Amino acid sequence: MPHPETWWKDAVVYQIYPVSFLDSNGDGFGDLNGITSKLDYLQDLGVNVVWLSPIYKSPLADMGYDISDYRDIDPRYGTLDDWDKLLAGLHGRHMKLMMDLVVNHTSDEHAWFEQSKSAKENPKRDWYIWRPPKYDVDGNRRPPNNWKAQFQGSAWEYDETTDEYYLHLYHTKQPDLNWENPDVRQAVWELMRFWLDRGCDGFRMDVINLISKVEGLPDAPITIPEDEYQDATEFYANGPRVHEFLQEMHSKVLSQYDIITVGETPFTHSASELARYVLPANKELNMVFQFELVDLDSPRTAQRMPFIHRPWKLSEFREIVGRWQTFKRDEGFWNAVFIENHDQGRSVTRWGNDADAWRVLSAKMLAMLEVTLGGTQYVFQGQELGLRNFPRSWGIEEYKDVASQNIYHEILEQRRKRESGGTGEEDSQIDMSDIMDGLQMKARDHGRIPMQWDATGHAGFTTGTPWMRVNDDDYPHWNAALQLDDTSSVRSFWKNALRLRKEHQVLIYGDFQDLDPQNEDVFAYTRTYRGVRAVVALNFTSKDIVFNLPSGEIMPGISPLFGNYPVGNGDVQGNELKLRPYEGTVYLSTPDTAT
């Protein structure tokens, strides 16, 4: 199938979480100059675009996703001059820079919000979502509706100055902007132009599907009766005006630049719902980060429980992958291929096997999955090293993310009340081990620990005191310096795999077909493009497996392209493909031999 090929389709995007990448001045926080000093490392890996998680001025209530000034760099990360130097360093290497655009909400310390909250008559009052209190039968003041915030508690915060509540879908320090107000939209278009005109090459748009809320902000249905506040995502995810707003963004800003755009679209598993953001005919975004795959190992309950781990099956995993790989390709739907980011546990821990015996092999096998799927490729910092989650032995105090802290303490409080018969007395004996098990697997903190550069103190991340504990058991023997020198390392494998992806367009653009949808052990599929066929087989287990290739013309004329075992590459005899534990293998036909 023909594909209009544009630069962002075959690009490899590397996500940097700046606070944890590299600290150049010893203050314990990663910074822009640290990133600039590692551009050769990124170029060597095969990176084309760097996406920076937010580096704007921020009180860091949600690690920079709470912005108090969109047009300046937080002093922890550096200055606008440092940003210009980083950009020049990237452009000088023919790499590009994508910024994080966080405009569903600002920080409560943003000047807009400070004005908005100062008085009902303030011209910026309507830039945020304010509502008067409700009162219950006993005359107690209550929030305007029962919506629950993503970081627990009510989605409304009372403000005494004007005796009203403001809406915050996330942290209390992240008030939601009122996109209904055209002045807000205008201000967003202007700040986008500010960065584009300064030279940035695109945006990753934070929770962009939440910017339009259902009119009237009605109460959510009660799905968890024992909870005071209820999941209300259906009232704000993909709301009534979101496409109108994005089309306006496209016509006013995006269409005037040659850039990459990716929208983050949580709480939505339906491909048809998300198609509207992506299909070129709609003139909105290039692609979205859909959450269906990374939500697979969460309980399927009315209440979202992203930090509880649910065992998953390969048949479920491949069904999701296959559906998105084949969705509306004829209409130009384009995927963002990712399995890690700063909100996720490490992929080798969640989807592979991070035990010492299997870590290297399964991290490479997952790399093979990523580079053989169609779409724009995203790699998260440390993923190229096969970094794994930090150990179960770490206490809750090592989890710095507000999401982890809030969920832990909310549950602790509930258990205290229950166990002390409602008196709320303290009891240090409360068992929280199940919650710690979940956090060890799923907490956002695992993607946020300092990068493991070398075996020197604090993993070479800082000469000072790191803002977050480094994975001290791991980094002395698991770091970039060691892996750069080792041709059999996960990093060397990623480098080679990204190069092969670039060389073989079938891996980026090919049509996808699952070879055995019910198979719970081996994920095998073909990709076909312009007469070339790739056959991929990935053993997701620690067993030796004989995979029976479907009869027919799958393998003739096909030869091994690459695999993750030091010797050999998937042993094929007739229809039988023998795979060792976590073995992955890719075969490729030449145009002449393809069927």
Please report, as ranges, the residues that interact with ligand TEU according to CB under 6 A: 62, 65, 102, 150, 170, 206-207, 264, 266, 306, 342-343, 403, 444
Least distance to ligand TEU from the beta carbon of 206, Å?
5
Phi, psi for residue 241 in degrees, rounded to 5: -110, 10
At closest approach, how far in Å is the CB of 344 from ligand TEU?
8
Two tokens, residue 192: 């986008």
Comparing CB distances to ligand TEU, the nearer of 411 and 481 is 411
Rg from Cα positions in the chain: 24
Q: Between 306 and 460, whose beta carbon lies closer to ligand TEU? A: 306
Closest by CA position to 179, among listed 71, 104, 283, 100: 104
> Does the annotation count 206 as an active-site position?
yes
User: Which C-beta is closer to ligand TEU: that of 45 or that of 207?
Assistant: 207
Residue from 451, 472, 475 nearest 31 by CA? 451
Nearer to ligand TEU, 101 or 497 (CB): 101
Which member of 264, 297, 343, 401 is catalytic?
264
Nearest to ligand TEU of 70, 525 (CB atom)? 70
Strands ordered across the beta sheet of 545-548: 545-548, 576-579, 571-573
SS3 of 28, please? coil
In what order do the strands lie in the sheet containing 558-563?
511-514, 522-529, 532-539, 584-589, 558-563
Residue of 82, 157, 206, 370 marked active site? 206
* 3-state SS record for 264-332: EECCCCCHHHHHHHHCHHHCCCCEEEECCCCCCCCCCCCCCCCCCCCCCCHHHHHHHHHHHHHCCHHHC
The residues, any chain, with a CB within 8 Å of residue 357's CB and separated by 6 or more, are 542
CA distance 397 to 405: 8
Q: Known catalytic residue: 157?
A: no
Nearest to 452 by CA among 383, 362, 391, 543: 383
Bridge partners (DSSP) listed for residue 380? 15
Identify the three-state secondary structure at position 141: strand
End-to-end CA gap in the chain: 15
Of 49, 35, 32, 41, the C-alpha closest to 96 is: 49
Q: Find the shortest distance in angstroms from Cβ 2 to ligand TEU.
A: 34
Question: Which of residues 60 and 207 has its CB atom nearest to ligand TEU in the complex?
Answer: 207
| Distance of alpha carbon 40 from the chain centroid | 24
State the minimum distance, in angstroms, from the CB of residue 237 to ligand TEU: 10
Cβ nearer to ligand TEU, comparing 265 with 489:
265
Please state the closest distance from residue 583 (CB atom) to ligand TEU, in A.
32
Q: Which of 484, 502, 487 lies closest to 48, judged by CA?
A: 502
Instruction: Match 């039988």 to its residue by tokens.
Output: 576
| Least distance in angstroms from the C-beta of 104 to ligand TEU | 7
Q: Which of 453, 353, 443, 354 has the alpha carbon at shortest distance from 23? A: 453
CB of 342 to ligand TEU, least distance (A): 6
Query: Looking at beta carbons only, is 61 or 572 nearer to ligand TEU?
Result: 61
Comparing CA positions, the residue from 13, 38, 34 lying closest to residue 99 is 13
**Phi-psi region for residue 158, left (φ > 0), alpha (ψ -120 to 50) or beta?**
beta
CB of 402 to ligand TEU, least distance (A): 8
The residues annotated as belonging to the active site are 206, 264
